Structures are given as C-alpha cells and as structure tokens.
Structure 1
C-alpha cells in the first residue's frame, strides 16, 4: 500500500478530517477532532501510526517486523507500521478500521449519536 492509498482509506470514513497540525511532514487524520492515524510523509518507505488495542498491538509487533511501537506516541496504544513493507494491504485496512473504531467508541454517547454512529 502506498501513502495515497492509505490516505484514501482514511478519508473514506465518516466525519474524517486531515490536517498538518504539527509540521508539513506529518499528515494527521481525525474523527470528531480526535486522532486515529498519522502519516509521516518524509519517510521512504512510508510509515504510519495507528491506534491499537494494547494486547493486539503486542501480538502484531511479534508477528510483523514492519510493525513496531508507536514512534513519538504512547507505546502502549499506538503502532508504527511500514505500509510499503511486509504487512498485507488487507491487514493495514483492518488496522485503519480498528484505530478509527477505537476512537469512535471513546467519544461520548451524545456525540456518537449526533454524528450518526449510534
């Protein structure tokens, strides 16, 4: 998967915005103003950060050399993934969905309802 395909997957989700809040090299994707994905545009091969359930994060890191603890992120809740590496595209899409869903579930019930998630 390349960075543009990653971007398209993120933007296809409901209520997602993209911005450069930190610098011009780090593209951030948010749902309801909460980050669920970051993409480092200066890295080749491309790397991204995705939120992940802590137990699942440990399993993924053990299984794939291209999934490591979140770079510049909370190591317990974020993974850094080389998307142009050994991780299958199908799994990357599943991990985007997983990250997005974790953030949506963390929103207040009121906000989830307002945005049409429940």
Structure 2
C-alpha cells in the first residue's frame, strides 16, 4: 500500500482528521480528539539496526496486545510501535509485503479500538456513519 492510498483510507473514517503535533514530517490521524494512527517516512532507528524502516513509509496503529504479537510473528514488516507503547501499538512498514486488505483491516481495528474507549455519546455519533 502506498503512502497516499494509506492516507486516503485513514481519512475516510468517520470523524477522522489530520494534524501535525510532532512537526511536518509526522502525520497524526485522530478520531475526534483521539489518535488512532501516525504516518511518516521511516528513518531507521537503534532498535531497527537492519534499516528496514529507512526509505519506507510507516504507519503506527493501535492494536490488541495479543493480536499485536501475532501480527509481528506473521509479517516481518510489522514491528513493535516505534516511539509508542510497544504492547499496544505496531509499526507497519509499507514496503509492499503486506496485502492492502490486511493493512486496511489493521487500520479498521486501530480506529475501532480508539472509538470503543470513547463516551457512549461519541461512539453513537461515529457508529451512525459506519
């Protein structure tokens, strides 16, 4: 999945918006006021010594801790969340190795996890549009 397609899909979610609290290089997607994803060009890190993030766009997505571990075991391009809570966030490297439908499923799950923690009133206003 390409960066533009990922951004379009993220913004297609009800009440989704884009903002830049970490600077112009990191796109943060939120539902109402709660973050459900980030999108940025990977630069590599100390924890990623093989440089597989470098040069690829990466999405940070919220995830159920058990599923997060399973996805990391299945897909080499899914790693613990970069600069995030490693138990509840995954970084998905957009290197073309994960099918688009699977990435969309991960985005949907992240979105719904965040919505599920909102007030009932906010949940209802969002779920009307799904």
Give the Å deviation of 1:87. 1.2
Q: What corresponds to 2:123 in structure 1?
A: 112
Is the CA contact 1:45–1:85 (under 8 Å) kept in the aligned structure 2? no
Q: Which residue number corresponds to residue 38 of structure 2?
A: 38
8 Å CA contact retained: 2:28, 2:38: yes
Q: Which runs of 5+ in 2 are unaligned?
A: 44-54
**What is the deviation of 1:116?**
4.1
Q: Please list, as runs of the form range in 1=range in 2, the aligned pairs for 1:1-118 lying within 5 A after superposition.
A: 1-41=1-41, 43=43, 44-113=55-124, 115-117=125-127
Secondary structure of 2:127's counterpart equals coil
TM-score by structure 2 length? 0.85
Q: Distance in 1 between matches of 2:76 and 2:86?
A: 16
The answer as to whether partners of 1:53 and 1:77 remain within 8 angstroms in 2 is: yes
- Measure the CA separation in 1 of the matches of 2:85 and 2:69: 13
Is there any run of 5+ residues in structure 1 with no aligned partner, and where?
Answer: none
C-alpha spacing 1:42/1:86, structure 2 compared with 1 (3 Å):
closer
Structure 2: distance between partners of 1:85 and 1:59: 19
Q: After superposition, what is the alpha-carbon deviation per residue over 1:15-41, rounded to whole angstroms, capped at 9, x for unaligned? A: 000011111110000001100010013
Please say which of residues 9-18 and 103-112 is displaced more in the overlay.
Answer: 103-112
Aligned pairs, number: 117
How large is the RMSD of aligned CA atoms in angstroms? 1.3
